[in-house]
């Protein structure tokens, strides 16, 4: 095995730090807060409010995310606020919002249990969404059929009735072939299409070339299996289609999402109990972060920021001067740093130095900044680049508030532990900076913040803390205290009355576009990256901590490729892409097919996969193609002792 040094566990931050003469040194809270505020003031005075960017925290509460976007918009005066939603499900939000008007998953977990067909597309739910996967297994136990679409045979795929092994980045050809087969076999839901959709004719033309044999050639999925899934999905009473990053983390992530939505529109598998379209969200509160407006194009409750009536409402409530225009998303903020248009950032609970694709480029961009404030529970690699570091309380156990899960259910989180001495609540820290910037923010508790949000977001108005406690959680939309559980979204599409039915859902005749990083003789292997059950994201909260499961980073490859390269399990190899080079020990995985290799990004302090990933991004959503890099693998010369 590798003789690589193990990652050291991170130690909780308990004292603020400020940078002097290039070095981070301990400081008092007052000194650190003064410095943080002064740097923001200086940059905004010199370069205007759009020189400021906020990276908000998808692990923290709704209340904290509400305050982070309010800080950005009302105190600084820009809409440049975003979070790690950009690196995962921004394409899902963009695709769903384009077709249906709002970006949430449609179904409740109970409906998953009651479904008779479940498709997990580009999702390793057994490892990345184990709680959701329990509901899937309950359905399977009751007789539901589970189909898994993934280039790897994952532990999720091992539970499936059928696994569709496709080539990385061929999801649109597969979805189009399924659609074409449904149309050709006359299994479409004609009355639903006529009543609730538009663009069908153009869509039929777009999928026409994707016959089963053509699709088999492009995707690698046997024609018979494509046909089987097409028929099973179209004939299911309650067909659930869930997807995650295998779909979204591509340079055309939004088009991928749209190609899946097309299938539900063809068959009427949406807007009914048990049928639905569900992006399983990533971080514990990434759904809530977006719902709270910690995204550059929406105010709290998904209200359109470009609508002057919306901004007028918020300006009246906050005494602010928000402009009715979109801010920059996280990807655009990084680009603005490179151009010199953005000169200061406030990063709350994000670790972009290790999570962004082509991270050395990210480091270069952050190095351009005049003033970086990082507020985290640990001294991350990103915090080590900061000018001011502020120690936060951990939202999930040390604060009061709410989280929103993938089924849009808002639930209470309670303070169970005191934060370590010296750390402060995220909202409290932000308020203290806001005060220093002249905003009269009083100290707000979770509930006070929530009540303010409820007064401004119709989706949440009926969700008082008291009701949330009584009911154990409520799904949005919940416009009043007597709202009943809505359970699933878009039921309106089935209404007879055209007024009640509202806007039709539009088919998307999207085009196939293969991964940007081309396979060549020099870079012949397709690297896809993702997760394991035992670890969490950039590893700050997991990599250094003891666990019998956690084995460290590996380059996983098929037995055939191991033989071809003449490498053994545990042997260190060199991995090179067009961006950079790393080394990692080999692990042999018979769930992989020749040509495809896999790594996580869970141990970047030892082996940083994002040195070699590509930052080709989806032009609509800004999400990078983490799922498809082209690499070379070289055996290392044997070291002579």
Ligand X SMILES: Nc1nc2c(c(=O)[nH]1)N[C@H]1C(S)=C(S)[C@@H](COP(=O)(O)OP(=O)(O)OC[C@H]3O[C@@H](n4cnc5c(=O)[nH]c(N)nc54)[C@H](O)[C@@H]3O)O[C@H]1N2
Instruction: Summarize as ranges the residues that interact with ligand X (CB under 6 A).
Output: 57, 59-60, 84, 87-88, 121-125, 127-128, 149-152, 154, 166, 168-169, 171, 244-247, 249, 282-283, 348-352, 355, 375-378, 380, 392, 394-395, 426, 528-531, 533, 535-538, 540-541, 601, 609-610, 613, 626-627
Closer to Mo ion by CB, 92 or 259: give it. Answer: 92
| Min separation Cβ 59 and ligand X, Å | 4
What does the angle CA 564 – CA 568 – CA 573 come to, to the nearest 5 degrees?
80
What the block records as the tokens of 26 is 């301990």
Closer to Mo ion by CB, 173 or 290: give it. Answer: 290
Q: Which residue has the tokens 């690297």?
A: 527
**Size of the residue set binding Mo ion (CB under 5 A):** 2
What the block records as the tokens of 158 is 């091992």
Residues 6+ apart with CB under 8 A from 357: 610, 613, 614, 615, 624, 625, 626
Residues 6+ apart with CB under 8 A from 528: 151, 152, 168, 596, 597, 598, 627, 628, 629
Which among 25, 75, 43 is positioned nearest to 370, based on CA atoms? 43
Closer to ligand X by CB, 392 or 510: give it. Answer: 392
Closer to Mo ion by CB, 88 or 174: give it. Answer: 88
CA distances from 137 to 114, 195, 438, 584 (A): 11, 34, 54, 35
**Rounded distance between C-alpha atoms, residue 102 and residue 200, angstroms:** 21
Regarding 282 and contact with Mo ion (CB under 5 A), the answer is yes
| Min separation Cβ 285 and ligand X, Å | 9
What does the angle CA 145 – CA 150 – CA 153 come to, to the nearest 5 degrees?
85
- Residue 457 interacts with which of ligand X, Mo ion, none, CB < 5 to 8 Å by class: none
- Residue 227 interacts with which of ligand X, Mo ion, none, CB < 5 to 8 Å by class: none
Task: Report the residue closest to Mo ion, judged by CB.
Answer: 282
User: What DSSP string describes 49-72?
Assistant: GGGEEEE--TTS-HHHHHHHHHII
Regarding 592 and contact with Mo ion (CB under 5 A), the answer is no
What the block records as the tokens of 535 is 């670890």
| Min separation Cβ 130 and Mo ion, Å | 15
- Residue 417 interacts with which of Mo ion, ligand X, none, CB < 5 to 8 Å by class: none
Regarding 274 and contact with Mo ion (CB under 5 A), the answer is no
Closer to ligand X by CB, 157 or 462: give it. Answer: 157
- Residue 350 interacts with which of ligand X, Mo ion, none, CB < 5 to 8 Å by class: ligand X
Cβ–Cβ under 8 Å, residues 613 and 358: yes
| Min separation Cβ 117 and Mo ion, Å | 26
Residues 6+ apart with CB under 8 A from 332: 296, 622
| Min separation Cβ 152 and ligand X, Å | 4
**Rounded distance between C-alpha atoms, residue 165 and residue 472, angstroms:** 39
Closer to Mo ion by CB, 86 or 176: give it. Answer: 86
| Min separation Cβ 251 and ligand X, Å | 11
- The residue ranges of DSSP E strands in 189-301, in sequence order, are 197-198, 239-243, 276-279, 298-299
Closer to ligand X by CB, 72 or 541: give it. Answer: 541
- The residue ranges of DSSP E strands in 282-323, in sequence order, are 298-299, 303-304
- Residue 43 interacts with which of ligand X, Mo ion, none, CB < 5 to 8 Å by class: none
Closer to Mo ion by CB, 283 or 554: give it. Answer: 283
Q: Which residue has the tokens 């990063």?
A: 347
| Min separation Cβ 550 and Mo ion, Å | 19
Closer to Mo ion by CB, 262 or 538: give it. Answer: 538
Closer to ligand X by CB, 80 or 244: give it. Answer: 244
Closer to Mo ion by CB, 263 or 618: give it. Answer: 618
| Min separation Cβ 151 and ligand X, Å | 5
Cβ–Cβ under 8 Å, residues 431 and 443: yes
Regarding 349 and contact with Mo ion (CB under 5 A), the answer is no
**Rounded distance between C-alpha atoms, residue 349 and residue 353, angstroms:** 12
Which among 486, 449, 480, 484 is positioned nearest to 462, based on CA atoms? 480
| Min separation Cβ 514 and ligand X, Å | 10
Q: Which residue has the tokens 């141990």?
A: 603
H helix and E strand count, the chain: 24, 25
- Residue 154 interacts with which of ligand X, Mo ion, none, CB < 5 to 8 Å by class: ligand X
- Residue 561 interacts with which of ligand X, Mo ion, none, CB < 5 to 8 Å by class: none
Tell me if residue 321 falls in helix, strand or coil.
coil
* 631: enclosing H helix or E strand: strand 629-635
| Min separation Cβ 281 and Mo ion, Å | 8
Regarding 288 and contact with Mo ion (CB under 5 A), the answer is no
Closer to ligand X by CB, 392 or 463: give it. Answer: 392
Which among 510, 76, 69 is positioned nearest to 259, based on CA atoms? 510
Regarding 280 and contact with Mo ion (CB under 5 A), the answer is no
| Min separation Cβ 530 and ligand X, Å | 2
- Residue 610 interacts with which of ligand X, Mo ion, none, CB < 5 to 8 Å by class: ligand X
* 505: enclosing H helix or E strand: strand 505-506
- Residue 169 interacts with which of ligand X, Mo ion, none, CB < 5 to 8 Å by class: ligand X
Residues 72-91 that bind Mo ion (CB under 5 A): 88
- Residue 533 interacts with which of Mo ion, ligand X, none, CB < 5 to 8 Å by class: ligand X
Q: Which residue has the tokens 């970047």?
A: 604
- Interacting residues with Mo ion (CB under 5 A): 88, 282
């Amino acid at each position: 095995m590798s003789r690589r040094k193990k990652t050291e566990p991170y130690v909780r931050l308990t004292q603020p730090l400020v940078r002097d003469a290039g070095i981070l040194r301990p400081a008092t809270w007052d000194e650190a807060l003064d410095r943080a505020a002064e740097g923001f003031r200086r940059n905004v005075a010199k370069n205007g409010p759009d020189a400021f960017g906020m990276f908000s925290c998808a692990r923290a509460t709704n209340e904290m995310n509400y305050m982070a976007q309010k800080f950005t918009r009302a105190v600084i005066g820009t809409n440049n606020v975003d979070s790690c939603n950009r690196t995962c499900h921004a394409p899902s939000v963009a695709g769903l919002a384009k077709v249906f008007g709002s970006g949430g998953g449609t179904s409740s977990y109970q409906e998953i249990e009651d479904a008779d067909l479940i498709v997990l597309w580009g999702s390793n739910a057994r490892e990345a969404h184990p709680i959701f996967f329990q509901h899937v297994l309950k359905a399977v136990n009751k007789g539901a059929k589970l189909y898994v679409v993934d280039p790897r045979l994952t532990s999720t795929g091992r539970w499936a009735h059928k696994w569709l092994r496709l080539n990385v980045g061929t999801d649109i050809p597969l979805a189009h072939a399924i659609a074409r087969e449904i149309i050709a076999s006359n299994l479409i839901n004609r009355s639903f299409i006529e009543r609730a959709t538009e663009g069908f004719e153009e869509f039929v033309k777009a999928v026409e070339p994707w016959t089963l044999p053509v699709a088999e050639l492009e995707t690698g999925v046997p024609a018979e299996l494509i046909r089987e899934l097409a028929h099973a999905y179209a004939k299911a009473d309650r067909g659930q289609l869930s997807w995650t990053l295998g779909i979204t983390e591509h340079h055309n992530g939004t088009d991928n999402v749209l190609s899946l939505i097309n299938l539900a529109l063809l068959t009427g598998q949406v807007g009914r109990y048990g049928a639905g379209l569900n992006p399983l969200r990533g971080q514990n509160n990434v759904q809530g972060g977006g719902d709270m407006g910690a995204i550059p194009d929406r105010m709290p409750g998904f209200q359109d920021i470009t609508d002057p009536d919306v901004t007028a409402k918020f300006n009246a409530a906050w005494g602010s001067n928000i402009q009715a225009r979109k801010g920059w998303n996280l990807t655009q903020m990084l680009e603005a740093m490179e151009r010199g248009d953005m000169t200061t950032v406030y990063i709350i609970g994000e670790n972009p130095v290790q999570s962004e694709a082509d991270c050395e480029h990210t480091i270069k961009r952050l190095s351009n900044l005049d003033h970086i404030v990082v507020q985290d529970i640990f001294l991350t690699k990103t915090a080590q680049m900061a000018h001011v570091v502020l120690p936060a309380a951990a939202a999930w156990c040390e604060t009061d508030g709410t989280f929103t899960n993938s089924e849009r259910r808002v639930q209470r989180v309670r303070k169970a532990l005191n934060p370590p001495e010296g750390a402060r609540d995220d909202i409290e820290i932000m308020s203290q900076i806001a005060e220093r910037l002249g905003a009269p923010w009083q100290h707000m508790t979770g509930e006070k913040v929530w009540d303010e949000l409820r007064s401004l977001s119709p989706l949440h108005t009926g969700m008082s803390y008291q009701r949330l406690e009584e009911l154990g959680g409520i799904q949005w939309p919940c416009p009043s205290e007597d709202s009943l559980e809505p359970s699933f979204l878009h039921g309106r599409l089935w209404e007879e009355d055209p007024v009640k039915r509202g806007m039709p859902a539009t088919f998307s005749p999207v085009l196939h576009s293969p991964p940007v990083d081309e396979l060549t003789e020099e870079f012949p292997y397709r690297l896809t990256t993702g997760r394991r059950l035992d670890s969490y994201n950039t590893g700050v909260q997991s990599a250094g901590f003891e666990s019998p499961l956690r084995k460290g980073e590996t380059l996983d490859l098929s037995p055939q490729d191991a033989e071809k390269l003449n490498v053994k399990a545990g042997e260190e190899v060199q991995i090179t892409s067009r961006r950079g080079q790393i080394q990692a020990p080999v692990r042999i995985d018979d769930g992989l097919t020749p040509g495809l290799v896999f790594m996580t990004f869970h141990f970047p302090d030892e082996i940083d996969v994002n040195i070699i990933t590509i930052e080709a991004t989806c032009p609509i959503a800004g999400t990078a193609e983490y799922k498809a890099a082209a690499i070379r693998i070289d055996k290392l010369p044997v070291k002579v002792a």
